[in-house]
């Protein structure tokens, strides 16, 4: 499919003599890259590293990820390499050894949120937000697979963050954009592109950016990124941010072999990824330090924690058959009995957040007490909270795919009871082994639907 004429003219003006190399790069196959979860089994034989992310690698081609049990276990995330630079930028500008409050304001499907979670310690919190409900469910699924309990997933418009001014050390705005950087991966992005769409996207980005800086505490960082090339959505918006806020541009350190281009407009500084220079897609990022100190008295709003209660001590014994006792966790349950856990050091933060953000999911879901026993949630299987000596049911690849498709799996019934189902030491979910069968507790809505 030929490139839109207006896009060609725009890129010729932007790239000058480099345009022919750029256009040729768009005719090549897009590279495939994955980023490993540092908290899960990461033994592998991959060699081609993504230069700006030590946990990320390129694949020779694009496999059928659906047929890899490790994909379902959250061992890795399939993410475009250029966009992984968000973690490198954050690492350069923030001290991840201290407790941080981080907001990913436009987070679905979750690539950048999982990258930031891989940097955060247990005293830190990530608020991962998505305004579109269908995309929010995808975001929750991907964050569940990543397995952290220090995460607060929300489904809100940016304007709903009123009451959280000056709250966050880092706010990431991965803004909805015209998608020029994805043309060789997504033909639909090319079909929908037009100069009018660029202007529409820029206006939508500015609506989000009129809110985001106020959420950043003094000396905190606002990151703005897109997967596009044009100056309207990129440097013009960064320049506008500097003109309308008390922000200062942050300079990043770039290795020469990364071939990332620094771009400027007056005081504004940004970083552009071009596919003829880097092994990745089109991407743009700018980082700004907040100089203003926002003092805000939150409106008195009822926290959604008013509908939760702390789990009674008598139920903790059933929980700790599954959950490690050495972790300092708080356990809350809903009116319907669903139990959630998160680091005790973050409880007051969760309560504060929930006063403004009603449509949210907290920490890691643990399960529900029935009788005197816990029926474990799938999120618990994906987490790092499970007691290490919990009984495991190791499956080979074919059995694992059958389990993920919710087909019957033949197992030895000599050891009855709850088992953590694993494939090559990676947790896939829960099964309850009975004398003559195994009950599969893998979430029905997540099951593999294709032929295996």
Contact 77, 59 (CB under 8 A): no
DSSP 16: G
Catalytic residue at 227?
A: yes
**Out of 106, 201, 225, 227, which one is annotated catalytic?**
227
Q: E-assigned strands of 161-213?
A: 168-174
What is the number of other CB atoms lying within 10 angstroms of the CB of residue 4? 16
Query: What is d(CA 248, CA 124) in angstroms, rounded to the nearest whole number?
Result: 25
| 60 half-sphere exposure, CB direction, 13 A CA radius | 3
Strand order in the sheet with 76-78: 56-59, 32-36, 76-78
DSSP helix/strand/coil, 446: helix
Please give the Cα distance from 154 to 436 (Å, whole number): 42
237-266 burial, b if ≥16 CB within 10 A, otherwise e? bbbbbbeebebebbebebeeebebbebeee
The whole-angstrom separation of Cα 51 and Cα 359 is 38
CA 180 to CA 365: how far, in whole Å? 38
CA distance 280 to 261: 13
Continuous segment of H or E residues that includes residue 24:
helix 19-26
Q: Which residues are catalytic?
A: 227
């Amino acid at each position: 499919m030929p490139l839109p004429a207006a896009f060609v003219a725009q890129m010729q003006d932007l790239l000058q003599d480099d345009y022919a190399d750029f256009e040729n790069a768009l005719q090549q196959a897009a590279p495939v890259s994955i980023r490993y979860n540092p908290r899960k089994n990461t033994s592998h034989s991959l060699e081609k590293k993504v230069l700006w992310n030590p946990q990320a690698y390129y694949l020779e081609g694009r496999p059928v990820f659906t047929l890899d049990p490790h994909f379902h276990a959250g061992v890795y995330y399939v993410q475009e390499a250029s966009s992984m630079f968000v973690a490198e930028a954050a690492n350069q500008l923030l001290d991840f050894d201290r407790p941080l409050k981080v907001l990913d304001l436009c987070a679905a499907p979750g690539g950048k949120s999982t990258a930031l979670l891989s940097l955060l310690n247990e005293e830190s919190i990530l608020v991962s937000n998505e305004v579109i409900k269908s995309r929010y469910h995808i975001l929750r699924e991907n964050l569940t697979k990543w397995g952290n309990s220090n995460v607060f997933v929300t489904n809100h418009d940016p304007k709903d963050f009123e009451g959280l001014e000056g709250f966050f050390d880092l706010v990431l705005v991965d803004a909805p954009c015209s998608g020029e950087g994805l043309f060789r991966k997504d033909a639909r992005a090319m079909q929908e592109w037009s100069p009018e769409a660029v202007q529409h996207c820029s206006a939508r980005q500015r609506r989000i950016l009129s809110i985001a800086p106020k959420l950043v505490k003094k000396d905190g960082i606002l990151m703005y990124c897109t997967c596009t090339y044009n100056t309207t959505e990129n440097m013009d918006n960064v320049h506008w941010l500097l003109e309308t806020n008390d922000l200062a541009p942050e300079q990043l350190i770039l290795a020469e072999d990364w071939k990332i281009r620094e771009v400027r407009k007056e005081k504004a500084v940004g970083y552009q990824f071009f596919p003829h220079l880097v092994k990745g897609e089109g991407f743009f990022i700018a980082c700004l330090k907040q100089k203003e100190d926002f003092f805000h008295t939150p409106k008195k709003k009822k926290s959604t924690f008013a509908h939760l209660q702390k789990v009674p001590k008598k139920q903790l014994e059933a929980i700790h058959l599954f959950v490690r006792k050495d972790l300092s966790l708080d356990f809350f349950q809903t009116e319907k009995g669903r139990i959630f856990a998160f680091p005790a050091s973050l409880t007051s933060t969760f309560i504060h957040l929930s006063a403004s953000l009603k449509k949210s999911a907290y920490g890691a879901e643990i399960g529900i007490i029935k009788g005197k026993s816990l029926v474990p949630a799938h999120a618990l299987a994906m987490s790092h909270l499970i007691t290490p000596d919990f009984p495991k049911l190791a499956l080979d690849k074919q059995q694992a795919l059958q389990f993920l498709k919710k087909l019957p799996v033949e197992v030895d019934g000599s050891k009855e009871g709850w088992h953590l189902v694993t494939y090559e030491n990676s947790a896939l979910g829960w099964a309850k082994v009975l004398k003559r069968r195994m009950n599969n507790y893998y979430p029905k809505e997540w099951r593999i639907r294709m032929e295996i």
